[in-house]
Structure formats: C-alpha cells, structure tokens
C-alpha cells in the first residue's frame, strides 16, 4: 500500500454515526446532489452536508437512515451551501453507496 498512515494520523479523523433528519434537492450543485441535515447527538449536534447520492437514494428513503461521516474537517462552501461534515460512502465512478449501520446505535458514537 502506498499511503500508509500512522495510528496517530488515523486517530485525528473523527468519524461519527449520525441520523439523517432532512434531505432536500440541491439544484445549484454542479453534479446531482442532496442537502442533508444530520443529527450527531449532544456532543456534535446537527450538521449539514452536500452528498452526491441521488443515483442510489431517494430523499424519502434517506430520512431516518444512520450514516457515518467525518465531522472534524473544516467547513466547505459548495455553491450557495456550507457543508459541515463529509458523509462517507464507497465510490465507483458516480455510483456512491453510503456507509451505514446495520443496527440502530446512538447518534454521535465514534468510529474507531
């Protein structure tokens, strides 16, 4: 593997479980995307993210889904929207599948 990380590097990445509360169209995005509102529990709170997941997910099917996101990246301006976390998914070309939980867990739990 080319990009070997030290354990201390991995520990800096704060991946947390969150539940999607809202999913809205994002017509100003360059590629088809949703604007998500995600609950990461008491310690992290509510965050927003833009996600290019329209190919595999409808807005209605996203509500209540628990996902994994990186919550300690700097905010990123995407068009007229401020993304506050990075939702994780497997990526092959434009086909993105979200990283989710198979059992319901508490919002805000850290992945490690």
Q: What is the pLDDT of residues 73-102, one digit of tens each?
A: 999 999 899 999 999 999 988 889 999 999
- Residue 60's pLDDT is what? 97
Hey, which residues does 66 pair with through a beta bridge? 19
Which CATH superfamily hosts domain 13-103?
Answer: Nucleic acid-binding proteins (2.40.50.140)
- Residue 1's pLDDT is what? 61
- Residue 51's pLDDT is what? 95
Q: pLDDT tens digits for 34-58?
A: 999 999 999 999 999 999 999 999 9
pTM for this prediction:
0.93
């Amino acid at each position: 593997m080319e990009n070997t990380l030290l354990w201390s590097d991995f520990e800096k990445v704060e991946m947390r479980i969150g539940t999607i509360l809202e999913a809205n169209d994002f017509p100003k995005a360059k590629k088809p995307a949703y604007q998500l509102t995600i609950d990461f529990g008491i310690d992290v709170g509510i965050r927003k993210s833009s996600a290019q997941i329209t190919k595999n997910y409808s807005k209605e099917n996203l509500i209540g889904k628990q996902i994994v996101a990186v919550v300690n990246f700097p905010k990123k301006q995407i068009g007229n929207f401020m993304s506050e976390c990075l939702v994780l998914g497997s990526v092959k070309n434009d086909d993105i599948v979200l990283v989710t939980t198979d059992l319901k867990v508490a919002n805000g739990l850290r992945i490690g």
